[in-house]
Every structure is written in structure tokens, then in C-alpha cells.
């Protein structure tokens, strides 16, 4: 099973479209969005198999929630959690540094994804691989990640 992890789209539909095209070609079964969606029109680009969390720039939460419901997706707040293939996966925007640290140090997750910084990075804390997939806006190289849950392999995908 493959999961795409995106963050910080900030209404930039010109990068969201190609990212979602790549995710579809990679046959991802789930998309996790780590926040800073920014508007309901951007939400409507995503398929139903998407789970969102809010970011600090998601000011129109009511509009975003309606759009999420309209496409049949879900939103979790203040952080998201899924279990796939026996792996515990958490995701959060990352602007609440204490929440990010609490999730990271809990040792309850195999993977913890976050955004906010617009910088791709990875490290490990205990059993948890902590990964920022990068951003699709306001960064020189626009990236997202694809996780193969079975192998644990993370692919960083550059969006032109």
C-alpha cells in the first residue's frame, strides 16, 4: 500500500494538479495533507481518499470543512492518525511545536509526518520516523512524499 503525504499547498493549484497526477500514477491508496490548504477550491481538487489536518493559514475552516464533506474526504483536528498495514501513522501541521514534540516523543507511532517549515527533512526519535515531505508552495524545490507502507520506503517526489 502506498500513501502520498503533501503539505503547505497554500491554494497553489498549479502545483497541486501535477502532484495529484503523480500520486495517481503511483497508485497511492491514501493521501494525507499536513495542513495549510488555504481554501475550499483547493480541497475540491483532491480525491475522496484524502485525510486533511488544518494548518495555521487555514483561516476559512468552515468553507474547508464543507468542501472536505463535499468530496467525501475527512478532516482530523488538531492532528491525524491512521493505521495501515499494521503501522501507526500520525500527521500534523507542525506550527504547534509542543504538539509536534508530544507526538514525536510518545513512541506510539511508526511514522509522524508534519509540514509548516516548507523544508523536507527526516529524522528518527525512538521507533518513530519523523518526516517533513516539503511543500508545494513558497520553496525553490516543490516536493511531497510517497510512503510504501509494506517496505517502509519513502520516496521524495519533486513537482515541476
The domains of the chain are located at 2-159
CATH topology of domain 2-159: Purple Acid Phosphatase; chain A, domain 2 (3.60.21)
Instruction: List pLDDT tens digits, range 57-77.
Output: 999 999 999 999 999 999 999
CB-based burial, 80-97: b 16+ in 10 Å, e otherwise:
bbbebeebbbbbbbbbbe
Instruction: List pLDDT tens digits, range 11-29.
Output: 999 999 999 999 999 999 9
Q: What is the pTM of this model?
A: 0.97
Q: Give yes or no for a contact between 128 and 110, defined as CB atoms under 8 angstroms apart.
A: yes
Amino acid at each position: 500500500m502506498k500513501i502520498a503525504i503533501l503539505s503547505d499547498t497554500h491554494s497553489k493549484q498549479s502545483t497541486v494538479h501535477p502532484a495529484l497526477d503523480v500520486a495517481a500514477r503511483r497508485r497511492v491508496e491514501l493521501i494525507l495533507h499536513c495542513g495549510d490548504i488555504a481554501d475550499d477550491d483547493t480541497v475540491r481538487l483532491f480525491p475522496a481518499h484524502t485525510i486533511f489536518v488544518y494548518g495555521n493559514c487555514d483561516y476559512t475552516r468552515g468553507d474547508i470543512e464543507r468542501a472536505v464533506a463535499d468530496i467525501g474526504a475527512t478532516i482530523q483536528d488538531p492532528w491525524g492518525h491512521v493505521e495501515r498495514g499494521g503501522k501507526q501513522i500520525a500527521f500534523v501541521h507542525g506550527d504547534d511545536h509542543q504538539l509536534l514534540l508530544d507526538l514525536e516523543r510518545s513512541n506510539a507511532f511508526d511514522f509522524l509526518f508534519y509540514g509548516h517549515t516548507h523544508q523536507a527533512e527526516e529524522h528518527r526519535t525512538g521507533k518513530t520516523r519523523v518526516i517533513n515531505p516539503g511543500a508545494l508552495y513558497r520553496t525553490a524545490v516543490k516536493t511531497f512524499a510517497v510512503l510504501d507502507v509494506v517496505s517502509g520506503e519513502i520516496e521524495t517526489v519533486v513537482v515541476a
